[in-house]
């Protein structure tokens, strides 16, 4: 370190930081440069709102995939958000701190499990249960929602716990001193004080769900249609790109890049909303 000097270390760290930023910018520019010309040529309205995806006939409507992505993500939120927040409240408010410090890292390790493992469990366990007890093919919107709901739990739980623990203890003590019960304190004081962080955790979880590919390919059925029920097979935007990019050429390939642009913009919007929510928590 002495040989390099403080300025040398500063330049090395700056170079590493800018290389990471440059890689992200290059990826962004590549996707946009490949996808935007197609959107301008084909028409944004036809591309977003047409229901026909038939590359052989040069029909590239992604509305069925958009609807499927939104419904699968919404289903994941319905399952994962309440369960994740409930687990976070239980661990941070009812469980002893020593136990919570063991359980929380264990839950966070679930985020390291490859998505293909979740997809395999969905195919082998969840899909047969849905097929046998609810009907349909089993590989469906419902299966995708359940698997994604489980996959976003580590994100929701971890960030929600951090947000709840950041609430000053004096808030709880003041509420209890005024005669409130433990649940009233959690409901009326703790949750409200940690609200922005909890909302951010849910939004980041949704970003993870919307961008998930492998698990959705395995459990959603991959039929290009607008879902009429939770038991229908669907194909999401990410699954469509992954399934067809290997053999796509010409306009078909450009249409898949344009799909990536739409997906990219959606995830940026979600992450921006989460960042604003986290910033509000930091200000408080």
Q: Tell whether the model's pLDDT for residue 275 goes beyond 60.
A: yes
Q: Tell whether the model's pLDDT for residue 283 goes beyond 60.
A: no
| Cα–Cα distance measured from residue 240 to residue 19, given in angstroms and rounded to the nearest whole number | 31
pLDDT digits (tens, 9 = 90+) for 120-154: 999 999 999 999 999 888 999 999 999 999 999 99
Q: Tell whether the model's pLDDT for residue 280 goes beyond 70.
A: no
Q: What is the mean pLDDT of the chain?
A: 88
Instruction: Tell the residue number behind the tokens 């959606």, with chain if given.
Output: 266
Global pTM reads 0.86
pLDDT digits (tens, 9 = 90+) for 21-55: 888 889 889 888 989 999 998 888 999 999 999 99
How does residue 1 score in pLDDT terms, banded at 50, 70 and 90?
A: very low
Q: What DSSP assignment string belongs to 220-253? A: SB---S--SSTTS-B--HHHHHHHHTTT--HHHH
pLDDT of residue 5: 67
Domain ranges in the chain are: 49-283
Q: What DSSP assignment string belongs to 98-158? A: HHHHHHHHHHHHGGGS-HHHHHHHIIIIIHHHHHHHT-S-SSSHHHHHHHHHHHTHHHHHH
pLDDT of residue 281: 54
CATH superfamily of 49-283: MetI-like (1.10.3720.10)
| Cα–Cα distance measured from residue 144 to residue 119, given in angstroms and rounded to the nearest whole number | 9
| Cα–Cα distance measured from residue 99 to residue 106, given in angstroms and rounded to the nearest whole number | 11
pLDDT digits (tens, 9 = 90+) for 63-120: 999 999 999 999 999 999 999 999 999 999 888 888 888 888 888 888 888 999 999 9
User: Can you say how many angstroms the Cα of residue 116 is from the centroid of all Cα atoms in its chain?
Assistant: 16
Give backbone dihedrals phi and psi of 220, rounded to 5 degrees, phi first.
-90, -15
């Amino acid at each position: 370190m002495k040989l390099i000097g403080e300025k040398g270390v500063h330049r090395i760290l700056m170079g590493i930081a800018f290389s990471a930023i440059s890689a992200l910018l290059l990826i962004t520019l590549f996707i946009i440069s490949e996808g935007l010309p197609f959107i301008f040529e084909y028409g944004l309205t036809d591309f977003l709102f047409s229901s026909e995806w038939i590359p052989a006939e040069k029909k590239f409507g992604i509305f069925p995939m958009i609807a499927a992505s939104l419904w699968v993500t919404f289903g994941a939120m319905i399952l994962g958000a309440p369960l994740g927040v409930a687990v976070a409240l239980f661990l941070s408010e009812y469980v002893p701190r020593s136990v919570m410090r063991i359980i929380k890292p264990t839950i966070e390790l679930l985020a390291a499990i490859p998505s293909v493992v979740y997809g395999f469990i969905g195919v082998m366990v969840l899909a047969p249960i849905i097929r046998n007890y609810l009907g349909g093919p089993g590989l469906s919107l419902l299966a995708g929602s359940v698997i994604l709901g489980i996959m976003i739990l580590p994100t929701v739980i971890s960030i929600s716990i951090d947000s709840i623990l950041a609430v000053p203890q004096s808030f709880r003590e003041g509420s209890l001193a005024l005669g409130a019960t433990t649940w009233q304190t959690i409901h009326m004081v703790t949750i409200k004080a940690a609200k922005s962080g909890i909302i951010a955790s849910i939004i980041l979880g949704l970003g993870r769900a919307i961008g998930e590919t492998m698990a959705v390919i395995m459990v959603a059925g991959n039929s290009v249609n607008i879902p009429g029920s939770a038991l229908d097979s669907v194909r999401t935007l990410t699954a469509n790109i992954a399934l067809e990019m290997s053999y796509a050429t010409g306009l078909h390939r450009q249409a898949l890049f344009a799909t990536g642009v739409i997906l990219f913009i959606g995830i940026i919007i979600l992450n921006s909303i989460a960042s604003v929510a986290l910033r509000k928590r930091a200000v408080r």
